[in-house]
A and B are shown apart, each in its own frame.
Chain A
C-alpha cells in the first residue's frame, strides 16, 4: 500500500468544489448589510446564544486545530487529552463565573486594546494593539501550511509544489468573503460550517472506532516510542508537570482573552448571553481537541500495527507527523463520505481564517492606526479594515511557504499565543479587579510578553544552551505578572481607577 494512496475520488472533488461556492455566495450576498464598522466587526452586537455558540465553535474549531490536535495524539497518544480537558474546564469556569468576559462585554468595547484605553491610556492601547497583532498574526502563520497539508494528505497529492497551490487557492477563497461581508457574513458562514464540521467529525469518528476497535485503541503498540503513553505528567510523555501548568495558564488566558473568541462575547446580545455562551461552548473546546486527538491516535495505531510498511515509508520520506491523520482517514473513509468530511475540514479552515483575519485587521485599524491618526471616519475604518485583511493574507502566504517551526504545531501555537496572552491576561485582570493597577505597570507587562518569542528559538531543541518552550512560556506569564505589580506600585497613576471608569 502506498503512503499517499487514497479513497478520495471524482465525486469527492465535486463535493468540495460545490461546497466552496457556499461561503462565497453568502459573503457576497450579505455585503449589503454592512453599513458601518460596527456591523463589520461585531455585527451590530446582535448575536443570540445559539448562533453565538455555533459561530464560536466554528471559529475555534479550525482545520489548524484539528491538525495540531491530531498531531499531538499521533505523537503523544492519550496523554495529549489533558490539553483538551484543561481547556474545556477553563472555559466552563469562565462561563460559570463570568470571569473577565462579563465585565468586558459590559464595557461595550469592540476590541481588547480598546479596553486598555478606557482603563489606562491611549499609549497602552497602541502598544497593546501592536503586541496583540504581532502575536496573533504570527500565531496564524502556519494555518495555511497545516490546512494545505491536510488537503494534500486526504486527496493523495504528494507533489510538494502542490502545497503552494493549495495554500494560495484556500487563502483567496477566504479573503473574498471576509472582505465582503465582515462579521455578518462570518456569523452565517460559521453556522453552516459548524453544522457540516460537527457532522463530519462525529461520523468520521465512527469509522475510526470501526477500523481500530475500542480495545485496540487503548493498547499501546509494541513499536511505539515512549512518548506515546497515557500519563501526561510522566517525563516520557514529553509533557510533564511544567507543561501541564503552562497549559492551565494558556487555557485560562486564551479562554477569556483570545481576541477571536472574545469578539463573540463582545458581539453577544448582552453580558449574560456572553457568560452563557462560554458555559455552553466549553463542550466545543473539549471536543475540538479530544476528537482530532482520537483520530491522531487511531492514525498512529493504524500505521504502526496494521500497515507497518507505511510507517517505514513515513519515516523514510521524512514526512511531518501532521500528515498522519489525513493519510489515515483518506484510507478508511469511503469515497463520497470522504468528500463531505474534506468539505467539513475545509469549512473549519475557512471559519477560523475569516475570524482571525477580521480580528487582527480590526485591532490594527481600531487600536493602532486610528489612535495614531487621531481618529478615523467610519468609512475610512471600513476601508482600512478591508485593505489590512488582504495585507495580512499576503503575509500569511509568504510566512507559510518559508517558515518551518522547530517545535510541534501545537507548541508553536501556544508559544506565539503567549506573546500576547501573557501580557494581556495580566493587564486585563489587574485592570478589572485591582484598583492600583497603573498604566506604567500595564506597559511593562505588555512588553514583557514579547519574551515569549524566544520560545521559537533554536535553543528549544536540545543543544549546548537548552531552554524548553514550556519553561519559556511559564516564565513569560510570571514575568508579566511581576512587571505589572512592581510597575503599578512604583509608578501609580494619578487618577484613581474609579475615576477613570
Chain B
C-alpha cells in the first residue's frame, strides 16, 4: 500500500509543480512590472 501511495505522491508532485512553475513564472513577470510601478522611485519623491 505504501509503495502505491508514494508512487502517486511522486507523480502528482512532478505534474502539479511543473504546471505551477509555468503559471507562476509567466505571471510573475507581469507582477514584477506592476511591483516597480507601485514602488516609489527616488526621482518621484
Contacts and interface: CB of A to CB of B under 8 A. Distances in A.
B17 A198 contact: yes
Report whether over half of chain A's contact residues are helix, strand or loop; otherwise say mixed. helix
Contact of B17 (A35, A43, A48, A284): A284
Interface string B6-25: 11011001101110110111
Contacts of A57: 24
Interface of A: 32-33, 35, 39, 43-44, 46-54, 57, 78-79, 81, 84-85, 184, 187-188, 191, 194-195, 198-199, 202, 205, 218, 230-231, 280, 283-284, 286-287, 290-291, 294
Contacts of B20: 53, 280, 283-284
Contacts of B40: 33, 35, 44
Contact of A32 (B9, B23, B35, B42): B42
Nearest to A294: B10
A283 B35 contact: no
A202 B18 contact: yes
Nearest to A190: B28
A387 B34 CA distance: 31
Given A46-B35, A202-B18, A81 B6 contact: yes
B21 A202 contact: yes
B24 A54 contact: yes
B27 A46 contact: no
Report whether over half of chain B's contact residues are helix, strand or loop; otherwise say mixed. helix
Contact of B25 (A54, A188, A287): A54
B18 A46 contact: no
Interface of B: 2-3, 6-7, 9-10, 13-14, 16-18, 20-21, 23-28, 30-32, 34-36, 38-42, 45
Contacts of A54: 24-25, 28
Given A43-B39, A81-B9, A230-B2, A205 B30 contact: no
Nearest to B38: A46
A53 B22 CA distance: 12
B24 A205 contact: no
B21 A35 contact: no
Given A44-B39, A51-B28, A54-B24, A230 B3 contact: yes
B41 A32 contact: yes
A423 B32 CA distance: 36
